[in-house]
Structure 1
Amino acid sequence: MSTEIRVNRPTPITSKKHIILFDNKTDVIQTIKTLEAGKSIVISDFYSNGLVVLKALKNYLNKKLPNTSFQEQRTFRSTYHKLSNRILIEIEDHKVALKKAPSIGWLKKLYPEISDFVLSFPQVQGLNSSWQWYTNGISIPVLRNKIHPYYGTYFPTRFDHLTLFDNWLKRYEGPKKTAIDVGIGSGILSFQLLKYGFQKVYGTDINPNAIVGLAVFMGDTKLSRKIALDYAPLFGRYDSPTELIIFNPPWLPKSNQEDYVDAAIYYDEHLFPNFFAEAKQRLLPEGQIVILFSNLFQITNFKTIHPIEKELSEGGRFQLKRCFKKRVKEASSLTKRDQNWRGSEEVELWVLIHKVSL
């Protein structure tokens, strides 16, 4: 099933008709002006030349754009994303065609039908980082074994919400026959469920890379018999009622001001209403819903009603059993963003049950 899914990957550029080349003799500032004019450049000679342009571009934008508040940082990242992706690199025979370039296994795994093409420098950087995480694995405090996230699959760099969930599972006394993990991602919550004795977990995701990656990771092991996967939104084909529904949704509302949106981080206005409507049909009478969330949207000045509080006050479907909160620690070294607003961030674990009619 999963091997037939077409995974997301950076779109290859097959034309090599580029005029503007950049090497260590090219004027960097003039190159940035070229990028701002909407033109692309191709890095030549050494891989490090691309790093030089990216560093200069970031310094240039730091001087040009304010980058303090959360909203300013979103604008900065959007501008940097647009300009940096006009910096291109040639791929030949599934290898980066530059001296002292890293070896990236994804170039062959993700592009079996084409060996020569062009990608943007940030895309190549992303592929390189992902390949290191995939091959070396990432340690997660609540799991015994490392995870090996597939390219394009979200994985956490902070673990406070996972610790909160782990502590809740330690105290969970309900049945453990089945659970549904909506938006399974890299599989961490499902692995936690199995660790605490759940017999079967049904995982869904709208990201094909998450489904393919987990299928490859589990192979024909015991895990593959305990975790069923479905490439689908929300609950997918799993319509049998269950005793536990797990949901770790995006924590920020989608902004119309950005040219690109990471669906693992930003949610649209329909996500929560649709989730709660379907969850009502999937939850056994004595079942529970656990939602991992954050107050991040509140402390970053979004004028948005808390989606879970809105459901509880207006939905008429569920009531609150418990809500646990935990102050977050500093971000992992895997992320380099300035996160000065996170001092007051808390992760939240909401436990909901069917509303009891009086």
Structure 2
Amino acid sequence: MTTDIKIHRPEPIEPGKEIARFNRSTDIELAINTLVAGKPILITSFYSNGLTLLKELQMHLKSKLPNKSFQEQREYRSEYRKLSNLILIEVVNHKLAVRKSPNIGWLEKLYPEISDFLLSFPQVQGLNSSWQWYQNGISIPALRNKLHPYYGTYFPTRFDHLKLFDNWLKRYEGPKKSAIDVGIGSGVLSFQMVAHGFQKVFGTDTNPNAIVGLKEFMGETKLSRKIELDFGHLFGIWEKQTELIVFNPPWLPASSMMDSIDEAIYYKENLFPDFFAEAKKRLLPEGKLVIIFSNLAQITNVTKNHPIEKELSEGGRFQLERCLKKTVKAASDKTKRDQHWRASEEVELWVLTNK
């Protein structure tokens, strides 16, 4: 595994000379107009002032943009992301320089070489949430122990697909000498495979935070001897053939704007053709390819193409052994977003074998 990995982190911003300031007495309309004009605003006095301005920005955008269909929600989030990241907050000596702000350990952990800088308010919120998850851990139904996800690493917040995979593993009767987990993320699928008796799992990820976080999480435990990691695209350095390849890819085709963590959610056009071509080389003759997917892109009209169905009809490399489906749990009543499509959403577990 590559040891010299550069972590993804919010880019520190140099303090500018002329930045408008926002506190309780600032005119809200003036502040919103400043953001719309593409100019930054610095939160001062209290952390809650940042929350107030974000709320006002949301109200402003909702009055200007429709936010009903799945596509409209993507556009709304894109505009909100752009404008909200102009709201800045100051970090001094690895602490937020406003009163009643949270203590975020990532500021020291991720920025050892710099102590004073600016970050956008949404980035600080993300760091704060991530620190809580990292410190307190997250319970996953399919795992005995809590996850402690590293900053910038995708982890599951819904578990239907994990239950589907766990049920499949319980019935799996093939050899358990080795497996490859492509896009290991926070390690959940690999942990499930180890729990079900796999002797060795080789994991890859293009996200450096996933690799660094898992290495830290596993430490010198038994897991670290069973799971080997590589920072690389698709199969990385793993060339040896194996009896099981597991892939939980992004479920939606990419739009034009993507952050690094979005790569866990949105896939690029060549991802699946490249994956299937490489998987063919690494799957033993009697091996199985397990892909965890969803019909989300189809039911939200993002695309009519299903990349796994396309491979089976056109690729000539694999044949379908079975496809298991599970209706997802209904959206929470507390969610403010219109998610009517969730009623017809299904997670899918595809089992493919060599032709």
SS in 1 for 2:143: coil
Tell me what 2:160 maps to. 160
How much has 1:349 moved relative to structure 2? 0.1
Task: In structure 2, give the amino acid aligned to 1:237.
Answer: I
> Does 2:177 correspond to 1:177?
yes
Tell me what 2:299 maps to. 299
Q: Structure 2: how far apart are the matches of 1:270 and 1:120?
A: 33
1:1-358 → structure 2 map (5 Å cutoff): 1=1, 3-256=3-256, 258=257, 260=259, 262-331=262-331, 337-355=337-355
Range moving further from structure 2, 299-308 or 95-104? 299-308
How much has 1:29 moved relative to structure 2? 1.7
Change (3 A) 1:239 1:332: farther
Query: For the aligned residues, what is the CA RMSD?
Result: 1.4
Q: Structure 2: how far apart are the matches of 1:3 and 1:336?
A: 42
Q: Structure 1: how far apart are the matches of 2:5 and 2:335?
A: 30
Range moving further from structure 2, 185-194 or 56-65? 56-65
How much has 1:255 moved relative to structure 2? 1.7
Change (3 A) 1:334 1:263: farther
Quick one: percent identity of the two aligned structures? 71
C-alpha deviations, 1:250-295, integer Å up to 9, x for none?
Answer: 0000123x46571000001100000000000000000000000000
How much has 1:336 moved relative to structure 2? 6.1
Contact 1:158/1:331 (8 A) holds in 2: no
C-alpha deviations, 1:301-328, integer Å up to 9, x for none?
Answer: 1234100000000000000000000000
Contact 1:312/1:319 (8 A) holds in 2: yes
SS in 1 for 2:263: coil
SS in 2 for 1:34: helix
Q: Structure 2: how far apart are the matches of 1:333 and 1:194?
A: 36
SS in 1 for 2:135: helix
Change (3 A) 1:79 1:324: same
Contact 1:157/1:332 (8 A) holds in 2: no
Q: Structure 2: how far apart are the matches of 1:136 and 1:339?
A: 29
Q: Structure 1: how far apart are the matches of 2:316 and 2:227?
A: 32
Task: In structure 1, give the amino acid aligned to 2:76.
Answer: F
- Gaps of at least 5 residues in structure 2 are none
Q: Structure 2: how far apart are the matches of 1:323 and 1:33?
A: 52
TM-score calculated relative to the size of structure 1: 0.96
How much has 1:331 moved relative to structure 2? 4.3
Q: Structure 2: how far apart are the matches of 1:3 and 1:259?
A: 26
SS in 1 for 2:264: coil
SS in 2 for 1:290: strand
Range moving further from structure 2, 79-88 or 323-332? 323-332
SS in 2 for 1:115: coil
Range moving further from structure 2, 204-213 or 3-12? 3-12
Q: Structure 1: how far apart are the matches of 2:28 and 2:117?
A: 25
SS in 2 for 1:203: strand
How much has 1:343 moved relative to structure 2? 1.1
How much has 1:64 moved relative to structure 2? 1.1
Q: Structure 2: how far apart are the matches of 1:252 and 1:109?
A: 32
Task: In structure 2, give the amino acid aligned to 1:319.
Answer: Q
- Gaps of at least 5 residues in structure 1 are none
Contact 1:88/1:118 (8 A) holds in 2: yes
How much has 1:340 moved relative to structure 2? 2.4
Q: Structure 2: how far apart are the matches of 1:259 and 1:192?
A: 29
SS in 2 for 1:4: coil
Contact 2:325/2:348 (8 A) holds in 1: yes
